[in-house]
Amino acid sequence: MAFPALCAVCDTHIYYDGICANCWPKLEPMPEPACRKCARILHHQTITGCCEVCFLNPPIITQIIAAYRYNVISKSLILKFKYADRLELTTIFSTLLSPAFNQLCNPDTLVIPIPLHPARYCKRMFNRSSEIARNLCKAHECTPLYQPSLLERVVNTERVGGMRRSQRAKTLKGAFTINHQKQNLLIGNSCLPIDDVITTGSTISEAAKKTFECRCLTGKCTLFCKRALIDNIQLTSRLI
């Protein structure tokens, strides 16, 4: 006897894997135009393709594509994946991220999931960024180079959610290092860190900094959600 599956967002019974017809239209793809360097939504297209902040202080990452906007639906998916150990959601995340991944990936791109500190990994038993990255690489036709152990997290930092930009940067400083046995891979190549959510970009920037120290050429990044601080505040007040 076949059991119906559950909608990944609202847990309604459905007869296929994924998201139900009621939740699906509420998942908002990132509107265009968005800043190519930080994925912030722009009111109008700019000549440089980036926002004023990135134009004045260019970030270390060359390009970021966030696939979806942070709203009640994407937040629910993230929370289930993150805290309810719903590992089966990896397939859905990978499918939803695939177009952004294809745009950024070349055959020689090093795909680097943002690592967890070993202590946190032992507690959680999986790293969702690694699971998504592995699935994306498997599905991608030109087999990019999946490198889950190239970047290591050496400091078990406190959670940065809710912190201001400057606090986040301070907390994450020195959190990552490059695996010395693999650092030659970075010379002259481009890397593509994979993460689930970006808010200020502090985590991605700190990770990218390490790869550039090893002469990596470009750093592009793909993420599931762009969470603007302002979106976050509005969302919180709506949920309360």
Phi, psi of 105, deg, nearest 5: -100, 135
- Within a 10 A sphere around the Cβ of 225, how many other Cβ atoms? 24
Q: Which stretch binds Zn ion (CB under 5 A): 18-26, 64-72, 125-133, 225-233?
A: 18-26
Residue whose C-alpha is closest to residue 188's, from 218, 213, 148: 218
Which CB sits closer to Zn ion, 77 or 207?
Answer: 77
Closest contact distance (angstroms) between CB of 32 and Zn ion is 14
Binding mask 92-121 for Zn ion (x = CB under 5 A): ------------------------------
Q: CA torsion, points 32, 35, 36, 39, in degrees to nearest 10?
A: -80
CA distance 16 to 95: 14
Binding mask 49-88 for Zn ion (x = CB under 5 A): -xx--x----------------------------------
Q: Which stretch binds Zn ion (CB under 5 A): 19-27, 166-174, 204-212, 223-231?
A: 19-27
178 binds Zn ion per the rule CB under 5 A: no
10 binds Zn ion per the rule CB under 5 A: yes
Which CB sits closer to Zn ion, 7 or 207?
Answer: 7
Looking at beta carbons, which pairs linking 88-91 to residues 24 or more positions away fall under 8 Å? 89/8, 90/128, 90/131, 90/132, 90/135, 91/17, 91/135
Closest contact distance (angstroms) between CB of 22 and Zn ion is 5
Closest contact distance (angstroms) between CB of 75 and Zn ion is 14
229 binds Zn ion per the rule CB under 5 A: no
**Binding-site member from 30, 34, 38, 221 for Zn ion (CB under 5 A):** 38
216 binds Zn ion per the rule CB under 5 A: no
Q: Token pair of 59, please?
A: 């970030």
Q: Which stretch binds Zn ion (CB under 5 A): 14-22, 71-79, 80-88, 104-112?
A: 14-22
Which CB sits closer to Zn ion, 23 or 110?
Answer: 23
Q: Are 149 and 183 in contact (CB under 8 A)?
A: no
Closest contact distance (angstroms) between CB of 60 and Zn ion is 12
Residues that bind Zn ion (CB under 5 A): 7, 9-10, 12, 20, 23, 35, 37-38, 40, 50-51, 54
